[in-house]
A and B are shown apart, each in its own frame.
Chain A
Amino acid sequence: MFNLEKSIQIWKRQLRRSPAFEDGDIAELESHLRDEMERLKAEGLSEEEAFYKATKTFGEPDPIADEMYKTKTTKTVATPPWKESKWMPAMISNYLKVARRNLSQNKLYAGINISGLAIAIVCCLFIYLFIHNELNYDRFHEKEDRIYKVTRLMEGNDGFRKIGITSAPFADALKIDFPNTIEEVIRIMPSDGVVTIDNNNFTEDRFYIADANLFDVFSWPLIQGNPETVLSQPYTVAISEETALKYFGNEDAIGKTIRVNNDNEYEITGVFKKPPNAQSHIEFDLVASMETFKNAAFYSGWWWNNLHTYILLAPNVQPEQLESQLTSFINKYFGDNIAQNNRRIELALLPLSEVYFANDIQYDSQIAHGDKTIIYMFGIVALLIIIVACVNFVNMATARSVSRAKEIGIRKTLGAHRSNLMAQFLGESLLMSFSAGILSFLIVYYTTPLFEQLTGKNISISLFSPQILFFSFLFILITGLLSGIYPALFLSSFEPVKALKEKINFGVSQLFVRKGLIVFQFTVSSLLIIGTLIVNQQLNFISNKSLGFESNQLLNIDINLSVSERLETFQQSLEQIPGVEISSAMSGTPGGFYDNYLFRAGENWDQTHTLKTLFTDHNFSEVMDLNMLAGRDFSNEYASDSTNSVIINKTAADMFGWTPELAIGKRFQNQFLDSTARVVIGVVEDFHFQSLYQPIAPLVVAMNDDRREFLVKVESENINGTLTSIEEVWNEFSPFFPIEYHFIDQQFEQLYENDTRQRSVFAVFTFIAVLIACMGLFSLASFNAEKRRKEMGVRKILGADFSSILILFNKEMLMTVFISFIIAAPLTYFLAELWLQNYAYRISNSYQSLIIAGLVVLTLSLITISYQSIKIALSNPVNNLKND
C-alpha cells in the first residue's frame, strides 16, 4: 500500500545525505514537490503516480546538490569536500600530518624501519653496481659482436685443455687461408718495460705490443694520431692519455721519442683514451707496434706461444662457418706434430663478450677474469637481504597496527572508504621507502671507495647515471608497494566498531604469518652465518695446510736477461750474502708458472704423456727442504745429471704404477727438448707447487738452462738487511732494471685472493642480513611486550618472579628462531658441499660450524629479545595495570 508521507520522508532523507542541503532548502523543495503533485492529481493521476512523476521531473538530487554547494562557497573552482578530487585526494594533507606524527611519535620504530630498509637498499645498489660493472666488460667495443679470441685446445692425458695464448704465425696464416671470412686478425702481446725520459725511469707493467689495426678492431678512441698509420711502422708506440700526462705534462706527446729498456728509441705516434664506463679484459698503458719485432725469434716460431690472437669476422659471417674449417687449418700447419705425438690440437673461437668470464682457460693469467658464480651469488644475496628488510617492514607495520586501530576506526566512521585507507597506508610505506632510498643514495655516494677496496673492482658507472636512477626509483617504488601492500590490506579490513572497541582479533592466521616471516628471516640469517663460517674454515684450512715444503723465508726473484747471462756468478754472489742460506734457479717457483711438456716414459714407449716440468739446478730440493723417497738428489759429483737424469715426484711414480724404489732407473724423454731418454735417479716427496684448488700433478724435474726465477732461502733474522744486500748484488748485475721479488707465502696468498675477497664481502653481507633480521626481531619483541603488558602485570601481582616471566617471554620467540635454524642447517650443508667441491684439498663438511652458527643465531636473538623481556620483567606491575 502506497504511503505518501512515508515516501516523502524517504525522498527527503535522500536529499539529506548531501551536506549541501540545509533544512530550509529541503523544506522549500518539499513544498515544491507537494505543489507539483497537487497539479498532477488535479490532472487525474493517482497519489502514487503523482509522487513518482513529480520526483522524476524534480530530477536527480546529486547534480542539484553540487550546484547548491557552489552557491554556498566562495571558491571559484568548487569541488564539494565530500567528493573525490580528480588529481589529489582531499585528505592528503591530513595523511601527511598523520604519517609525520606517527613517525615522530615512534622514533624507534621509524628509525629501525627506515634504516633497515636503507641498509638493504645500499647493499642492493652496490651489488647492482658490481654486477653491472662485471657484465659490461668489453661491451664498449663497437665491433664486439664480430670479435673472437682464438684459443687452442690441446689434447692432454684425459681430454682437451683450453689454452688462451697462441703464437705469432697464427695471425698471418689465418688471414691468408680465410680471406673471405676473416676481415682482420690482431695480435696483442702483454709485456712490460722500463721507459726512460730525460734520465727519469718509469717501470711500466702494462707495456703491450700489438698489431697496427688495434685501434681499428677495438674501440679505444685515438685522441691524437692517425688511426690508419699509428702502429704501422717499427719502433712506434701509442700511449694512454694518463701516461702522456705523466711523461710530458701538458706538452704535446706526438712525435716525441721514449727510450725503452735502455735499448731502442720509440716514436710516439698516437695517444689513446680509456673511455669512461669502459672495462676491458685487456688493459694497457703503452702499446708498441708488432712490426718492431718482425725479426725477433718468437715472431716466426709456431710453438712460441706468448700472445693473444683475435679475429674480426667479416660482416654476416657466422663463427661456425669458420670453426668448421679450423681442423683442416691445424692439420695443414701442425699435421706432422700431431702424427708424431698422437695428440690432437684444435682451435676454438671465443666470443669477445665471453673472454672475461672464461675461467677454464689456462695460461691466460695476464688478462682480467670475472666469475659468473659470484655474480649469481651476489644477486641472490641482494635478493635475500631486500626480502628480509621488506619482511621487517611488513611485520612492524602489522604489529604497529594495534595502536592505529582507533585511528582506522575513526576514519571509517567518518566515511573513509577502504580504498582511502589503503592509499593512506601505501602512501606511508612509500614515504618510508623513499626516505630510505634517499638515505641509501647518500650512503652509497660516500662509501663507494670502501666497496671498491673490498671487492678489488673499479666501479666505472656513475651512481647518478640515468639507468641507475631509473632502476633505483623503480626498485624503491616496488619495495615500498610490496612492503606496504600487506599492511594496507590488513589494516583497511578492520571493522570500525571492533577497531574502536579495541576488539580486533589478531587471530591465529595473523600470528602465523608473522612467525612465518620471522622464520624466513632467520633461515636466511642462519644460512649466511653458516656459509661464512664454512668459507672461513676452508680458507683457514688452506692457508694453514702444509704445502709439503718449507715455504717460510723463501724469496722469489724474477730473472731478467742481464742476470740470466751471468747466472752462475750471480748465484755465487748471492750466496755470499750472510743472510742467504741457499739459492736455486728454476723454471717456475711454487704457486707460479709450470710448463707442460709431452713425454714418452716407462715401459710403454709408444704412449705419450703430458707432464708438468720443473727445470732447475742441483739445489732445488735443498732450498725447499724436500726429502727423497728413493734414489738420490742431483749432485755435482755426477756430471751427467744435467743431461741424463730426471727426478719425478711421488704422484708421477703413482701414475705409472711404480713404487718409489721401482721408479728408479725408468726412462723419460721430453719430446720437445731431449734427443735421448733420461733416467730417473730419484723420487721426491709430493709438494704443492700449484694452488690447493688442484690436486698435486705428476712432475718431472730435470736440470736444464731454461730457468727464469731464483728461489732464495733467507735467514729469519735481519730480513730487511738481507733484502738490501740482495738488491745491491742485483744492481751490480742489472743496474738498469730494478729487482722484482716476493715471498712464496705471498705468492700463494695471491692465488686465493679472489676467495679471500669473497670471504670479506660475504662476511659484510652476512653481518648486514643478521643485523636487519635482529632489528625486525627487536621491534617484534617490543610489540609483544606492549601487547602483553597487562598480562605480565597480573602475573607479577599473582606472584610470578623475574625469571619465570623472562622464560615465558623468551620461550616463544626463541622457538621460532630455532625452527628457522632447523630449516637452514641442511640447506647450507648442501650448498657448502657444492662450494667445497672447488677445492682439491678441503675441510670435511663439519657439523661443528653448524653448531657454532646455531649458537650464534640463538645468542643474538636471545640478546635482542631479552632487552624487551627484561624491561617488562623488571617493570612495576602497577604501571602496567594502570589504564592509559
Chain B
Amino acid sequence: MISKELMAASTRPLILTILKRGESYGYQIIQDVKKLSGGTLEWSDGMLYPVLHKLQKDGCIQSRWEVSEEGRRRKYYAITDTGREELATAKQQWLSVHEVLKKLWGPSPEWA
C-alpha cells in the first residue's frame, strides 16, 4: 500500500500521463491505474472524480459527454496544453527525486 500523502501527490501526474495517451473516462482511468500498478495503487474509486474535476478547473484537462454504444452516458476527459506543461514539470520533479533516491539506495549504500 502507498501512503495517503504520496497518493495525493502522485494522482495528478498519473492521470495526466494516462490522458496523454488518449481520451478516456473516469472508470477507464481507474482500471488503467490498477492494471499498471498491479494493485499496489489503490484508491476508493470515487476519490478519482474530485481530482478530475480539480484538474479540469485548473485547465489541465477538458471534458465532454458522449453516449456509448450501450447507450450509457460517459464523460470523456482529454489533456490540454496546460496539462502537458504541468505534466512535463511534474515529470522533471519526480525524476529528480527518483534520481536522488536511486543514488542513495543504489549499489554502494553509504546512506541506507
List the interface of chain A (C-beta within 8 A of B).
Answer: 24-25, 27-29, 31-32, 34-36, 39, 57-61, 63-64, 67-68, 70-72
Contacts and interface: CB of A to CB of B under 8 A. Distances in A.
Contacts of A39: 31
B97 interface: no
Given A32-B26, A71-B54, A64 B49 contact: yes
Contacts of B51: 67
Q: For B25, B45, B51, which residue has the most chain A Cβ atoms within 10 angstroms?
A: B45
B67 to A, nearest CB: 10
A64 B75 contact: no
A57 B45 contact: yes
B50 A70 contact: yes
A28 B54 contact: no
B27 A35 contact: yes
B50 A29 contact: no
B44 A29 contact: no
Contact of B27 (A25, A32, A64, A70): A32
B73 A61 contact: no
Interface of B: 25-28, 30-31, 43-47, 49-51, 53-54, 57, 72-75
Contacts of B46: 29, 32, 58-59, 61, 64
Nearest to A15: B46
A77 to B, nearest CB: 16
Contacts of A71: 50, 53-54, 57
Contacts of A28: 26, 49, 74-75
A870 B26 CA distance: 75
Contact of A31 (B47, B54, B73): B73
A491 B64 CA distance: 51
Contacts of A25: 49, 53
Nearest to A20: B50
A854 B35 CA distance: 93
Given A28-B75, A59-B44, A67-B47, 4 more contacts: A27-B75, A34-B72, A59-B47, A60-B44
Contacts of A24: 75
29 contacts: A24-B75, A25-B53, A29-B46, A29-B49, A31-B25, A31-B26, A31-B73, A32-B26, A32-B27, A32-B30, A32-B46, A35-B28, A36-B27, A36-B45, A57-B45, A58-B45, A58-B46, A59-B44, A60-B44, A63-B47, A64-B50, A67-B50, A68-B53, A70-B54, A71-B50, A71-B53, A71-B57, A72-B53, A72-B57
A255 to B, nearest CB: 82
B29 to A, nearest CB: 10
A28 B73 CA distance: 8
Nearest to B53: A71
Main SS of the interface on chain A?
helix
A388 to B, nearest CB: 58
A742 B90 CA distance: 103
A31 B44 contact: no
Nearest to B75: A28
Given A59-B44, A70-B54, A31 B49 contact: no
Contacts of A63: 47
Contact of B44 (A58, A68, A70, A72): A58
Contacts of A34: 72
A32 B43 CA distance: 14
A695 to B, nearest CB: 91
Nearest to B27: A35
A452 B74 CA distance: 85
B47 A64 contact: yes
A83 B43 CA distance: 24
A20 B30 CA distance: 22
Q: For B25, B31, B50, which residue has the most chain A Cβ atoms within 10 angstroms?
A: B50
Nearest to A32: B27
Contacts of B49: 25, 28-29, 32, 64, 68
A27 B25 CA distance: 13
Contacts of B25: 31
Listed from nearest, the 3 A-B pairs whose CB atoms lie closest are A59-B44, A67-B50, A35-B27
A34 B43 CA distance: 18
B7 to A, nearest CB: 12
Q: For A58, A68, A70, A71, which residue has the most chain B Cβ atoms within 10 angstroms?
A: A71
Contacts of A60: 44
Contacts of B72: 31, 34-35
Nearest to B45: A58
Contacts of B30: 32
A57 B33 CA distance: 14
B59 to A, nearest CB: 13
A14 to B, nearest CB: 12
Contacts of B75: 24, 27-28, 31
A662 B74 CA distance: 131
A68 B52 CA distance: 10
Nearest to A67: B50
Q: For A32, A36, A57, A72, which residue has the most chain B Cβ atoms within 10 angstroms?
A: A32
A168 to B, nearest CB: 88
A70 B49 CA distance: 12
B42 to A, nearest CB: 9
A767 B73 CA distance: 80
Nearest to A59: B44
A36 B25 CA distance: 13
A50 to B, nearest CB: 14
Nearest to A66: B50
A28 B52 CA distance: 11
B15 to A, nearest CB: 14
A58 B49 CA distance: 10
B45 A68 contact: no
Nearest to A25: B49
B26 to A, nearest CB: 5
Given A28-B75, A31-B27, A57 B50 contact: no
A149 B10 CA distance: 85
Contacts of B74: 28, 31
Nearest to B74: A31
A35 B74 CA distance: 10
Given A27-B73, A36-B45, A59-B44, A68 B27 contact: no
Given A27-B73, A67-B50, A70-B50, A32 B45 contact: yes
A295 to B, nearest CB: 96
B99 to A, nearest CB: 32
A63 B57 CA distance: 19
Contacts of A57: 44-45
A71 B49 CA distance: 10
A71 B44 CA distance: 18
B66 to A, nearest CB: 10
A60 B46 CA distance: 8
Nearest to A54: B45
Contacts of A58: 44-46
Contacts of B31: 39
B102 to A, nearest CB: 32
Nearest to A38: B70
Contacts of B54: 70-71
